[in-house]
């Protein structure tokens, strides 16, 4: 298999390539090639056995031309500075595309959270906030959950920030528990947003859901909600996986049964449950790599970045891919898929439901006025449908892929903000007049 590209350099290359024909100035492209500020910290953690360990923590505020920066915090042993900066760049594009008054950011800790006790996890989360307290805030940078972080961790972080600042600040973090100022509908938002993209795609392609087979790599919160909604629509979910491997059944799976088993046994097992009684069903165990190569109609990479590279792109049989993970297809592999006629709904569009409902949560926190679930879902559908329509129409009108169209829409919106401040053309004209 070909060597996986550096995720940040690959992200920058995409911006350069698309920026060349996006109709925006070189100044905008150049701004997107340079993160505004990146913070690194060594986080001390007193372990339960009394020993002291240190973990690397990162926060990148990539671009704030459209507003305060926004982005999740992930806990993973492979978190790196390059990864965090790439994710911050993608968040910048994503927020601009979604029409949110945000720039992009991202953070993370290089840690295997499964090896920590609950109390160690809490102490590490609070240590992260102590290290970053001066660079986050409701009008500066608003974190949220990401890989291996959740509502409880966000609640700890908000509590630590409020203790440091000695004031209530419900809008400093999104993705919190509802009783701590979180928003209803936030837990399902990323998956529901991806489902809305599939729905719009199906409407344009005149799909009959019952005839479509779906494989999903990853079975975390976002993948579960997407699978649940697709199953309700009539799609057949024939394969799912977690970090240890996957399962495949031509007959499809009952998603609620798989999720129940995953939550109780922490394993991916092909079961069908009636209330609390579950039984194994016929299935085939497969690897994550094999899942990507299944003969299905729709493939959903919902785990980590760079899982489809030039080394396996030709083996992908799905005609349509919806990226729920961030950056699951590298730029070289995407060229291969494009040549083969594979349609890719890009991550900056497909997984924007999470940051959109995080925006709703921030608005509720700033105003002190909570919304009901119907309002959240209705407004999410409006945002996602509007974004999908804009990307689809731009792609059709300008002969672009959906990813290229998404980046073009986002970069043109960023360009409008840069121009409003004054760009090279404006200041050059002023100099000549002088």
Where along the chain do its domains lie?
36-171, 189-350
What is residue 272's predicted lDDT score, i.e. its pLDDT? 81
**Could you read off the pLDDT of 237-280 as tens digits, one per residue?**
999 999 899 999 999 999 999 998 888 887 888 888 877 777 78
Measured from the Cβ of residue 216, the count of other Cβ atoms closer than 10 Å reads: 29
DSSP 329: B
What pTM was estimated for this model as a whole?
Answer: 0.93
**Could you read off the pLDDT of 175-232 as tens digits, one per residue?**
999 999 999 999 999 999 999 999 999 999 999 999 999 999 999 999 999 999 999 9
**Could you read off the pLDDT of 110-164 as tens digits, one per residue?**
999 999 999 999 999 999 999 999 999 999 999 999 999 999 999 999 999 999 9
**Could you read off the pLDDT of 1-12 as tens digits, one per residue?**
344 468 999 999
Say whether 189-350 and 36-171 share the same fold.
yes
- Rounded CA-CA distance 210/223 in Å is 19
Largest CA distance in the chain: 81
Q: State both tokens at 58.
A: 């990162």
Selected residue with higher pLDDT from 424 and 370: 370
Would you say the C-alpha torsion 114, 119, 121, 124 has a positive or negative sign? negative
- Superfamily (CATH H level) for 189-350: NAD(P)-binding Rossmann-like Domain (3.40.50.720)
Would you say the C-alpha torsion 270, 217, 106, 365 has a positive or negative sign? negative
Asked if residues 325 and 301 have their Cβ atoms less than 8 Å apart, the reply is: yes
Asked if residues 234 and 209 have their Cβ atoms less than 8 Å apart, the reply is: yes
Q: State both tokens at 59.
A: 């926060």
Smallest CA-to-CA distance from 109 within 91, 126, 86, 93 is with 126
Q: State both tokens at 373.
A: 């679930």
Flag whether pLDDT at 431 surpasses 70: no
Asked if residues 324 and 346 have their Cβ atoms less than 8 Å apart, the reply is: no
The residue assigned the tokens 């959270």 is 113
Residues 6 or more apart whose CB falls under 8 angstroms from that of 401 comprise 334, 338, 344, 395
Asked if residues 403 and 380 have their Cβ atoms less than 8 Å apart, the reply is: no
SS3 assignment, position 102: coil
**Could you read off the pLDDT of 320-355 as tens digits, one per residue?**
999 999 999 999 999 999 999 999 999 999 999 999
What is residue 419's predicted lDDT score, i.e. its pLDDT? 86
Q: What CATH number matches the domain at 36-171, 3.40.50.1000, 3.20.20.140, 3.40.50.10860, 3.90.1150.10? A: 3.40.50.10860
The alpha-helical segments, DSSP class H, found in 216-330 are 221-233, 255-265, 288-292
- Rounded CA-CA distance 273/126 in Å is 39
Burial pattern 324-336, b for ≥16 Cβ within 10 A else e, equals bbbbbbbbbbbeb
Angle CA(191)–CA(275)–CA(248) in degrees, nearest 5? 50
Among the options 36, 56, 94, 106, which is catalytic? 106
236 is catalytic: no
What is residue 1's predicted lDDT score, i.e. its pLDDT? 36
């Amino acid at each position: 298999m070909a060597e996986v590209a550096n995720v940040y350099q690959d992200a920058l290359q995409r911006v350069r390539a698309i920026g060349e024909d996006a109709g925006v100035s070189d100044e905008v492209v150049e701004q997107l090639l340079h993160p505004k500020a990146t913070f690194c910290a060594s986080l001390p953690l007193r372990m339960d056995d009394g020993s002291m360990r240190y973990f690397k923590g990162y926060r990148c505020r990539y671009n704030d031309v459209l507003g305060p920066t926004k982005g999740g915090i992930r806990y993973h042993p492979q978190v790196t500075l390059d990864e965090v900066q790439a994710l911050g760049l993608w968040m910048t594009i994503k927020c601009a595309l979604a029409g949110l008054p945000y720039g992009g950011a991202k953070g993370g800790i290089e840690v295997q959270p499964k090896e920590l006790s609950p109390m160690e996890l809490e102490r590490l989360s609070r240590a992260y906030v102590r290290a970053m307290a001066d660079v986050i805030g409701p009008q500066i940078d608003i974190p949220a959950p990401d890989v291996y972080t959740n509502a409880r961790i966000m609640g700890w972080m908000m509590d630590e920030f409020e203790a440091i600042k000695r004031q209530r600040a419900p809008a400093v973090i999104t993705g919190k528990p509802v009783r701590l100022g979180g928003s209803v509908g936030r837990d399902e938002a990323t998956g529901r947003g991806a489902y809305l993209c599939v729905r719009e795609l199906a409407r344009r392609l005149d799909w009959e859901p019952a005839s479509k087979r779906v494989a999903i790599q990853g079975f975390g919160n976002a993948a579960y909600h997407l699978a649940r909604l697709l199953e309700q629509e009539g799609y057949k979910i024939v394969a799912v996986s977690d970090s240890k491997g996957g399962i495949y059944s031509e007959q499809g799976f009952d998603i609620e049964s798989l999720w129940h088993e995953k939550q109780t046994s922490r394993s991916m097992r092909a079961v069908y449950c009636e209330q609390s009684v579950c039984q194994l069903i016929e299935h085939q165990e497969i690897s994550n790599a094999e899942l990507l190569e299944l003969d299905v109609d729709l493939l959903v990479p919902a785990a980590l970045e760079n899982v489809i590279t030039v080394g396996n792109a030709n083996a992908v049989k799905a005609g349509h891919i919806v990226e729920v993970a961030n950056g699951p297809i590298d730029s070289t592999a995407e060229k291969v898929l494009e040549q083969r006629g594979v349609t890719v709904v890009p991550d900056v569009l497909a997984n924007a439901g999470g940051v959109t409902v995080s925006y709703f949560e921030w608005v509720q926190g700033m105003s002190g006025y909570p919304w009901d679930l119907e309002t959240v879902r209705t407004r999410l559908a409006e945002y996602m449908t509007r974004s999908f329509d804009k990307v689809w129409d731009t792609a059709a009108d300008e002969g672009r892929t959906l990813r290229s169209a998404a980046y073009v829409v986002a970069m043109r919106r960023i360009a409008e903000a840069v121009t409003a401040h004054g760009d090279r053309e404006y200041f050059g004209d002023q100099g000549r007049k002088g």
